[in-house]
A and B are shown apart, each in its own frame.
Chain A
Amino acid sequence: MKKSLTCIVCPNGCRLEIDVQSHEVSGNKCPRGIAFAINEMTNPKRSITTTVRTTLSEYPVISVRTDGDIAKDKIMDLIHLLKDVVVTEYLPIKTIIVHNVFGTDVNVITTANMQKGDKCL
């Protein structure tokens, strides 16, 4: 039996077919498609982008993301964990704010440069 998938690795959005038993993949334009399809069948993963609160007047929230992919069924767990994270100082872009999410080697990093006196509102 074959399953149809749309690859989400890049904007090409290749239409993939994967054999449920043999994990043979077709329709991919690059090797990342094969890895994506096999992962989707075995352990689907996603990168997460969201915001965390700060105590700084210039930034009600600051944007963050995972620097790798985490298991799809852990997405809401991570979101809840980040509800309790509060940034209290001006951090440069790509500062790790949560290390090794759920025991993986994935971290949560800031994705904007914070500067005192910045006008972002």
Chain B
Amino acid sequence: MKRYDVIVIGAGPAGLAAALKADENGASVLLIEREAKLGGILKQCIHDGFGLTRFNEKLSGPEYANREIEKIKKTGVSINTLTFVTKIEKNDDSFTLTLVTRDGIASVIGTKLILATGCRERTSRQIFIGGTNPSGLMTAGAAQYYINILGKMPTKRCVILGSGDIGLIMARRITLEGGQVLGVYEVKPTPSGLTRNIVQCLDDFNIPLHLSHTVTKVFGCDRLEAVEIAEVDEHMQAIEESKHIVACDALIISVGLIPENEIAEQLKIAINPKTKGPYVDQTLMTFAPHVYSCGNSLHVSDLADYVSESGELAGTYAAKSIQKERDLQEIEIDSHLMYFVPSHLDFKSPTRQVIAYFRSAGEYENATLYIEHDGKTLFKKRYLHLRPPEMERIVFSLSPDLAPATVRVYLEVKP
């Protein structure tokens, strides 16, 4: 049975970056991908705006992926495409993975595992839309695949539910391809996507955005024929009198992404309910020793650049770590924060620099982020604007003599 120092599961931006860094740090690496091609979802994200941080250039998704793929081809990383991981077993000092490949079933052993399995879109059934389930009811990612990869238009006249970035991008894409986007409906009183996407995808094409509105019902047997739209009150309950029918041939859903952690669950890895990804320390190691998590399976990022960065961190630490014992302390966050990654700090780890990502729980102006350890401020930063859809990145360090204790992170918000 083949044995590797590091096995990376998933070859999207996180997995590619993780495999590259693990290889660069001297590990033997196996990269496993279930699709035929490397690059993950970037393959169908033909819009630009990728790489502004990582490459200082404005690239489309396939170009961004291509940069990483060209790099990995020059390394000794073993790559298995069209390969599924069906089972993971923990041994004393390693993991045995059962793989399904085109040649049949195979097993490999890895000393360390990196989970880079990305995320999935929430579907209409997960947000309890009533009515039938006709064709024309699809996620934004599915519409993106039909148009950008298959070259097929899945709609002539559609309604988009949810103002997540993919939904906004698809509103523009469908318009460019000659389809009509009747409107983007968002149940929350504020948009979910980046402001720049509201501007360049909706405003530029006069596509209306209806906040505090949702779809309550779908009509149509074989093909979607109409949707019922309702305004919602402050408790997000549909207002009966506001209900009206909009005729369309598709309902495109962009209502959020959820980290994919089926494999982590097999290993009984504890999941953080705030991120829906595993709890991790500053080296991105989960509660299961030698199992790392990165990219969108750790927490859903709004930029591929951040996904790659977390992949690089996981790859580097997985290759370098020889540590046996951990002293994990929780990072406590206050109610002004939606989440903070890492969720824990390992005080026994030689890694003293912490790269952290957080989202605010609400929209705040002039807020200050504090990181406190034992009553002392470790880090402080002022923000002019904080919005939940816009993830923030910070770097702070832990001095080597810092005593293990819970670290508190809070936002001071001026009323």
Contacts and interface: CB of A to CB of B under 8 A. Distances in A.
Given A49-B60, A111-B60, A93 B66 contact: yes
Contact of A51 (B37, B46, B195): B46
Contacts of B198: 6
A47 B48 contact: yes
A113 interface: yes
A11 B150 contact: no
Contacts of A60: 149-152
Contacts of A50: 46, 173, 176-177
B149 A49 contact: no
Contact of A11 (B47, B62, B303): B303
Given A7-B196, A63-B60, A93-B66, A121 B151 contact: no
B37 A120 contact: yes
B36 A119 contact: yes
B66 A46 contact: no
Contacts, number: 86
A84 interface: no
B66 A113 contact: yes
B194 interface: yes
Contacts of A118: 37
B413 interface: no
A120 B36 contact: yes
A84 to B, nearest CB: 14
B199 A6 contact: yes
B112 interface: no
Where chain B touches its partner, the secondary structure class is: mixed
A106 interface: no
A63 B148 contact: yes
B52 interface: yes
Interface residues of B, number: 35
A61 B302 contact: no
Contacts of A10: 49, 52
B48 A53 contact: no
Contacts of A75: 176, 204
B373 interface: no
Contacts of A63: 46, 60, 62, 148
A46 B200 contact: yes
Given A50-B46, A50-B176, A120-B36, A11 B60 contact: no
A79 interface: yes
B149 to A, nearest CB: 6
Interface in A95-121: 111-113, 118-121
Interface centre among A15, A65, A119 (most CB of B within 10 A): A65
B36, B176, B177, B198: most-surrounded residue (chain A CB, <10 A): B176
B225 interface: no
Given A11-B49, A50-B176, A61 B148 contact: yes
Contacts of B195: 6, 13, 15
Interface in A10-58: 10-11, 13, 15, 46-51, 53
B200 A8 contact: yes
A7 B196 CA distance: 7
B58 interface: yes
Which of B46, B52, B147, B199 neighbours the largest number of chain A CB atoms within 10 Å of its CB? Answer: B46
A72 interface: yes
A8 B196 contact: yes
Nearest to A7: B196
Nearest to B58: A47
Contacts of A49: 46-48, 60
A99 to B, nearest CB: 19
Interface of B: 36-37, 43, 46-49, 52-53, 58-60, 62-63, 66, 147-152, 173, 176-177, 194-196, 198-200, 204, 302-303, 385, 390
Given A47-B58, A111-B63, 8 more contacts: A8-B199, A11-B53, A11-B196, A11-B303, A79-B176, A93-B63, A111-B60, A119-B37
7 smallest beta-carbon distances between A and B, as pairs: A61-B151, A60-B151, A119-B36, A63-B46, A112-B62, A8-B196, A13-B196
23 contacts: A5-B199, A6-B195, A6-B198, A8-B200, A11-B303, A11-B390, A13-B196, A15-B385, A46-B200, A48-B176, A49-B46, A49-B47, A50-B173, A51-B46, A53-B151, A60-B150, A61-B148, A61-B151, A75-B176, A75-B204, A79-B176, A93-B63, A120-B43
